[in-house]
Homo-oligomer: A and B are copies of this chain.
Amino acid sequence: MDGNAPRKVVVAVDAMGGDFGPTAVVPGAVAAARAEPGLALALYGDPDTLDAQLDDLGARDLPIEVVACRDRIEMGESPAAAVKGRPDAPIVRATRDHREGRVQAVVSAGSTGAQVAASLMILGRLEGVDRPAIATGIPTLNGRFLLLDVGANVQCTPEHLLVFALLGDEYARRLMDVETPRVGLLNIGEEPTKGTELCVQAHALLRDAPLNFVGNVESRHLLDGAADVVVTDGFTGNIALKLVEGFGGFLQTAARQFLAGGAADAGEGLRGLLHRLDYTSTGGALLLGVRGSSIICHGASPARAIQSAVLAAGRMARLDLPGLLQQRLAGRA
């Protein structure tokens, strides 16, 4: 924490982790060292493999040290037991070296559970932090926002969310170049009384905290960049994160289909995709479980959306959907 001299740092890399192991990790680490000449690295893993790879990549002149680790954590092992029982696994040694000041950060693409367990058990928590959170950047139209927690804590208290907000705010100031981060609470409506008990109480805490709290953020505005930092519990955050990941895959598959036809087809294909995702082309939502059929349309429905909702209503009514549902429920008894 010396503000004068630039801190000299070594980044530890678990070179054996990830689906592709050293074949992806070592070239990635070497590329980083080349991109930033001052950056020193330490690769943790099997020394023969790693030395051979560094030779192949012509990377012997770079400040990259190899730290020999002969053990490894298998996928499916209990993270806590692995951290205790395998001191010579790369993630465990790297994290211990981080605690002891030999390296200043750890990177791994191996088991997330083992990495989180190693961090909690070896590094420990900051004072004032009851539950550390996993934070990740998510792309928006103009940049990126930080979402946390995305999976470390399935159940949270309002106080946990407040600490997440403070951690995320500091992160955004320091690493996302945002002077006064807009901090939001992921929720299902903008009013302070919306959502679960957790949301309502967290909203009150956040409003009174030393933060630029912009209130509740509905998920429809996440990708617009409505906030720089968005806090939520680890269950909801994980659902949101993986849904965004799923969009990427959805688009990629859709794009492959129409990019195959050449650039001229891409515009047409994209229009089709947008139409598919256009909320107003669906037949509306339905309150299932009442003695009737009441189709709920979007407030912003144009004539086309009303048309499909009315046609859907006709089908439901002809089938006597409520009657069918009642029979189905009676069948349970």
Contact = CB atoms under 8 A, between A and B. Distances in A.
Contact of A13 (B98, B222, B298, B306): B306
Contact of A109 (B197, B299, B328): B299
B28 A133 contact: no
A287 B116 contact: yes
A210 B329 CA distance: 11
B240 A108 contact: no
A304 B28 contact: yes
B274 A251 contact: yes
B292 A98 contact: yes
Contacts of A137: 282-283
Number of copies: 2
Nearest to A186: B239
Given A9-B317, A19-B299, A290-B119, A247 B277 contact: yes
B246 A220 contact: yes
Interface stretch (A30-38, A66-74, A79-87): A30-38
A64 to B, nearest CB: 11
Give the one of A175, A252, A273, A285 with max B CB within 10 A: A285
The 9 closest A-B CB pairs, nearest first, are A28-B306, A132-B289, A104-B317, A32-B310, A109-B297, A9-B317, A248-B277, A28-B303, A128-B329
Highest count of chain B CB atoms <10 Å: which of A10, A32, A110 = A32
Nearest to A222: B246
B219 A106 contact: no
Interface in A88-120: 95, 98-99, 104-110, 112, 115-116, 118-120
A62 interface: no
Given A170-B324, A286-B135, A248 B314 contact: no
Contacts of A292: 95, 98-99, 105-106, 119, 123
Given A35-B307, A175-B315, A301 B28 contact: yes
